[in-house]
């Protein structure tokens, strides 16, 4: 609860300072992997595991952290869950930070079970993503792990998909004289209180927020309102967000990581020198170039908007 506490969020802050803002999303589908490697592997799950390792090694020094989307692994059943576990363990064994993109949201005893599952054991991650719909009693049980082991979380706040207009964007009213605000503000305001009570040496709270870089006109107001929240920022690239949009959600050149997945994992398919016998080394090298280009794109936008 003291400001000299050190959380994983502080480690992430340091990683952004030294390596830039890119969060590499390992949302790895078998279809993204070079055909020659898929043929060689005994199973799609094994092909994904080999591909992930190659990508992690190639981009490691240019990425602030990794995010692993569990849906892609659950899809492959038990074999996929094993590769999920191995991927998390590999990143952590290299000294990297990994966000388990699991978007869990359940209450009290169940939340405690989930927290035990994803902050320890086979599926241990440094951070998780959480969904706030059921309320703060679906978030708070995870906080014990912030205090005991430095763990962090990013709570869905204003996401980057079109459908966020259905609920996150609804105006909510409370007893006067409260001012109207959107649902995502109600979520963000609660998270800001949590962050104030669990603040690390970097000045950011142990738990942060998912805020997409897709609604440029709101970005400055969000950054100002939530000065103590570290942001996980989706929406860059394919979803329409530019580096200059992401930069508006950063603060003093830090305070957030920007995620990209497919544009990095599939970068090799767009290379002019791609050949039919392309392998994981080729794909990993293309991923590395894509990460560096994205890192420099954001750094340049931050420089223009300090």
What is the rounded CA–CA span in Å between residue 215 and residue 135? Answer: 25
Question: Does 176 interact with a copy of itself (rule: CB under 8 A)?
Answer: no
Pairing of strands 181-182, 231-233: unpaired
SS (H, E, C) 119-163: CCHHHCCCEEEECCCCCHHHCHHHHHHHHHHCCEEEEEEECCCHH
Instruction: Out of 30, 41, 50, 186, point to the residue binding a copy of itself (CB under 8 A).
Output: 186
Degrees to nearest 5, angle at CA 221 with 216 and 224: 130
Known catalytic residue at 266: no
Task: Choose between 169 and 275: whose C-beta lies nearer to a copy of itself.
Answer: 169
Beta-bridged to residue 209, according to DSSP, are: 155, 231
Query: Which positions ≥6 away from 292 have C-beta within 8 Å?
Result: 62
Residues within window 221-260 making contact with a copy of itself, judged by CB under 8 A: none
Question: Does 149 interact with a copy of itself (rule: CB under 8 A)?
Answer: no
Instruction: Out of 35, 40, 77, 197, point to the residue binding a copy of itself (CB under 8 A).
Output: 77
Q: Residue 263 burial (CB < 10 Å; 0-12/13-18/19+)?
A: middle
Residue 20 beta carbon to a copy of itself: minimum distance, rounded to whole angstroms: 25
SS (H, E, C) 16-28: HHHHCCEEEECCC
Question: Does 161 interact with a copy of itself (rule: CB under 8 A)?
Answer: yes
Element (H, E) at 225: helix 216-225
Residues within window 34-63 making contact with a copy of itself, judged by CB under 8 A: none
Question: Does 168 interact with a copy of itself (rule: CB under 8 A)?
Answer: yes
Residue 235 beta carbon to a copy of itself: minimum distance, rounded to whole angstroms: 11
Instruction: Out of 6, 108, 269, 300, point to the residue binding a copy of itself (CB under 8 A).
Output: 108
Query: Which positions ≥6 away from 161 have C-beta within 8 Å?
Result: 212, 239
Residue 33 beta carbon to a copy of itself: minimum distance, rounded to whole angstroms: 15
Question: Does 193 interact with a copy of itself (rule: CB under 8 A)?
Answer: no
Pick from 19, 20, 1, 11: nearest CA to 236: 20
> Which pair of structure tokens corresponds to residue 159?
């996401």
Instruction: Out of 48, 76, 219, 264, point to the residue binding a copy of itself (CB under 8 A).
Output: 76
18 and 61 Cβ atoms separated by less than 8 Å: no
What is the rounded CA–CA span in Å between residue 40 and residue 33? Answer: 11
Catalytic residue (one of 19, 40, 103, 151): 103
Task: Choose between 40 and 165: whose C-beta lies nearer to a copy of itself.
Answer: 165
Question: Does 299 interact with a copy of itself (rule: CB under 8 A)?
Answer: no
Question: Does 91 interact with a copy of itself (rule: CB under 8 A)?
Answer: no
Question: Does 147 interact with a copy of itself (rule: CB under 8 A)?
Answer: no
The piece of 9-17, 120-128, 252-260, 292-300 that touches a copy of itself (CB under 8 A) is: 120-128
Task: Choose between 163 and 272: whose C-beta lies nearer to a copy of itself.
Answer: 163
Pick from 193, 253, 182, 258: nearest CA to 229: 193
Residue 108 beta carbon to a copy of itself: minimum distance, rounded to whole angstroms: 7
Residue 74 beta carbon to a copy of itself: minimum distance, rounded to whole angstroms: 4
Pick from 85, 86, 45, 94: nearest CA to 65: 94
Q: Under the rule (CB under 8 A), what is the footprint of a copy of itself?
A: 27, 29, 69, 71-72, 74-78, 80-82, 85, 103-111, 113-114, 116-118, 121-123, 131-138, 156, 159, 161-168, 170-174, 180, 183, 186-187, 190
Which residues are designated catalytic?
103
């Amino acid at each position: 609860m003291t400001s000299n506490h050190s959380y994983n969020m502080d480690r992430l802050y340091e990683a952004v300072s030294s390596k830039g803002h890119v969060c590499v999303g390992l949302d790895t589908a078998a279809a993204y992997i070079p055909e020659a490697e898929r043929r060689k592997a005994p199973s799609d799950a094994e092909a994904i595991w080999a591909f992930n390792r190659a990508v992690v090694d190639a981009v490691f020094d240019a990425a602030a952290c990794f995010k692993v989307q569990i849906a892609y692994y659950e899809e492959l059943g038990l074999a996929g869950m094993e590769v999920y576990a191995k991927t998390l363990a590999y990143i952590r064994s290299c000294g990297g930070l990994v966000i388990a993109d699991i978007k869990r949201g359940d209450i009290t005893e169940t939340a405690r079970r989930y927290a035990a599952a994803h902050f320890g054991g086979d599926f241990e991650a440094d951070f998780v993503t959480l969904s706030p719909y059921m309320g703060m009693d679906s978030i708070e049980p995870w906080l014990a792990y912030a205090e005991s082991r430095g763990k962090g979380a990013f709570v869905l706040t204003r996401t980057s998909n079109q459908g966020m207009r259905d609920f996150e964007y609804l105006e909510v009213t409370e007893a006067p004289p409260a001012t109207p605000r959107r649902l995502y503000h109600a979520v963000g305001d609660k998270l800001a209180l949590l962050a104030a009570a669990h603040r690390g040496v970097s000045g950011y709270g142990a738990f942060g927020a998912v805020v997409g870089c897709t609604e440029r006109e709101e970005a400055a107001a969000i950054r100002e309102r939530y000065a103590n929240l570290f942001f996980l920022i989706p929406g860059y690239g394919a979803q329409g967000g530019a580096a200059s949009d992401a930069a508006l959600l950063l603060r003093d050149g830090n305070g957030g990581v920007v995620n990209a997945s497919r544009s990095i994992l599939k970068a090799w398919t767009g290379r002019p020198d791609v050949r039919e016998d392309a392998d994981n080394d080729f794909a990993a090298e293309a991923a590395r170039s894509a990460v560096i280009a994205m890192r420099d794109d954001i750094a340049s936008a931050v420089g223009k908007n300090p």
